[in-house]
Structure 1
Amino acid sequence: MNILNEQTAQNLRLIRRKEVQAKTGFGASSIYAEMAKGNFPKPIQISERRVAWLESEIDLWISERIASRTSIEKMEG
């Protein structure tokens, strides 16, 4: 597999809810509440009874939270 394909595969990695919870610190109910408010990435249906999230979307969501905190700290400091 060449480097471009490896990067594409990493960007398209699907992760299940427990890994989303581990990465974000959210519990299941918080994930679904934030999704309902439009503040969190929505999952992809992978089978009749299973969903997963794109890891790249979760990582982007985390990065946005960090950037938001950093900009607030600069305004206060």
Structure 2
Amino acid sequence: MAAPSPDAPTAKLLRMAAVKARTGLSRTTIYRRMEAGTFPRSWPISAGLVGWYETDIDSWVADPMGWRAAGGKS
């Protein structure tokens, strides 16, 4: 899945608490799935802060078992 343009007017970044609430996953599970390529990657917001594009999380929630990162691991 291609990443949305960071300067898209409707692009919204979600912080970890919102991602955990939407997915029901723990922080550890989110990072393990990112490493495996089965969860959207995070994007740096500033030093020590990351966020996920809302559209990426929505896509994952719609099909968690079928979601794969573009060019990611299988």
> What band does the TM-score fall into relative to the shorter chain?
0.7 to 0.9
Q: Which has the larger radius of gyration?
A: 1
The 2-side partners of 1:65 and 1:51 are apart by 21
TM-score w.r.t. length of structure 1: 0.70
| 1:43-62 alignment runs, 5 A limit | 43-62=42-61
TM-score w.r.t. length of structure 2: 0.73
Identity %: 34
More helix by share: 1
Query: What is the total number of aligned residue pairs between the two structures?
Result: 58
Query: Which runs of 5 or more residues in structure 2 are unaligned?
Result: 1-8, 67-74
Relative contact order, higher structure (CA 8 A, sep 6+): 2
| 1:60-71 alignment runs, 5 A limit | 60-65=59-64
Which aligned segments of 4 or more residues in structure 1 are displaced greater than 3 angstroms? none
CA-atom RMSD in angstroms = 1.5
* Deviation sequence 1:32-73 (CA, Å, 0-9, x none): 00001010000110101100000100000111238x6xxxxx
